[in-house]
Amino acid sequence: MASITFPTPGLPVSAHATHATTERRWVRWTLIAVAVTFLGVFLFLPLAVVFSSALEKGFATYLAALREPDAMAAVKLTLIAAGIAVPLNMFFGVAAAWAIGKFDFTGKSLLVTLIDLPFSVSPVVSGLIYVLIFGLQGLLGPWLAAHDIKIIFAVPGIVLATIFVTFPFVARELIPLVESQGTEEEEAALTLGASGFQTFWRVTLPNIKWGLLYGVILCNARAMGEFGAVSVVSGHIRGRTNTMPLHIEILYNEYQFAPAFAVASLLALLALATLLAKTVVEWKARQQSAEWEQIIGEAV
């Protein structure tokens, strides 16, 4: 943003005035260089090394590593876990946002803090808590064993751990958004005879769609990439209870670097797609908010 300066007659449009509110050229370029180097080393290099190591032994090896049955099984399991965890957390996020964002009640801020809780728990502990309940030594372990139900070291445990670590994503995007939009529009719809569900579907949902999509994108990225929590509950059975990140770990520890990075490159592509989607959604949301501002401006 250009600052407005009023040149005084007789004085040069002084270097002093600009230097007082911006930095000197060499300072600016030094800071840019520092920032770009830092981001380059910590963000660009890791991405670059994933793709270059994946393709190191040629494209045929790359494809073979992805077609390998254990890799395919890992991809499938990752899709199943995310396919269950993300919709459940999405449904939860919408319900929580409706209750917290549209109504006032005692204990609201405590509830919001509790919803955020899983973010402050170490992934390893997130997995452990389910082992302590459903594992053989766990609280329900003997009962589950007697009824031949397997949760830990099986798919249900992986799904549970994935739900836990991605628990707050959708809710925390939606709660402030729903809260800020107030209840006038819904009240108008209800007064005009819409049913509760119609009001939600036709009025609330269109207003929160970008926030919802955004939360789902972040939730999905974490669900597919979770490592620590899933590692604790999975049991690492090849082809059966290995998700993509766990499969990467096994390959890497067996010094099969090219195949490990081949599978990793899929997750890196997912991360890049997530960042791209995030940028687009933010841009769309900004557009929607510009419309909001216009409407508000006209109303005032």
Query: Cβ(218)–Cβ(169) under 8 Å?
Result: yes
Nearer to another protein, 158 or 246 (CB): 246
Q: Which of residues 62-81 bind another protein (CB under 8 A)?
A: none
3-state class of 165 per DSSP? Answer: helix
**Of 52, 54, 56, 44, which Cα lies nearest the Cα of 263?**
54
CB of 1 to another protein, least distance (A): 6
Task: Report residue 93 as tokens.
Answer: 């996020």
Q: Single out the residue of 13, 35, 63, 145 in contact with another protein (rule: CB under 8 A).
A: 35
**What are the angstrom distances between the C-alpha of 284 and each of 90, 94, 113, 200, 290?**
20, 20, 29, 21, 10
Task: Report residue 70 as tokens.
Answer: 């254990």
Q: Which of residues 209-238 bind another protein (CB under 8 A)?
A: 210-211, 214, 218, 221, 224-228, 231-232
Query: Cβ(199)–Cβ(225) under 8 Å?
Result: no
Interface with another protein includes 83 (CB under 8 A)?
no
- Which residue type occupies 249? E
> Where does this chain touch another protein (CB under 8 A) — which range of 6-14, 47-55, 63-71, 143-151?
47-55
Q: Single out the residue of 13, 41, 145, 237 in contact with another protein (rule: CB under 8 A).
A: 41
Nearer to another protein, 68 or 263 (CB): 263
Q: Single out the residue of 7, 13, 14, 32 in contact with another protein (rule: CB under 8 A).
A: 32
Task: Report residue 286 as tokens.
Answer: 């900004």
Interface with another protein includes 146 (CB under 8 A)?
no
> Where does this chain touch another protein (CB under 8 A) — which range of 60-68, 69-77, 142-150, 285-293?
285-293
CB of 21 to another protein, least distance (A): 5
The CB density around residue 283, as the number of other CB atoms within 10 Å, is 11
> Where does this chain touch another protein (CB under 8 A) — which range of 7-15, 62-70, 142-150, 169-177?
169-177
In whole angstroms, give the CA distance from residue 254 to residue 250. Answer: 6
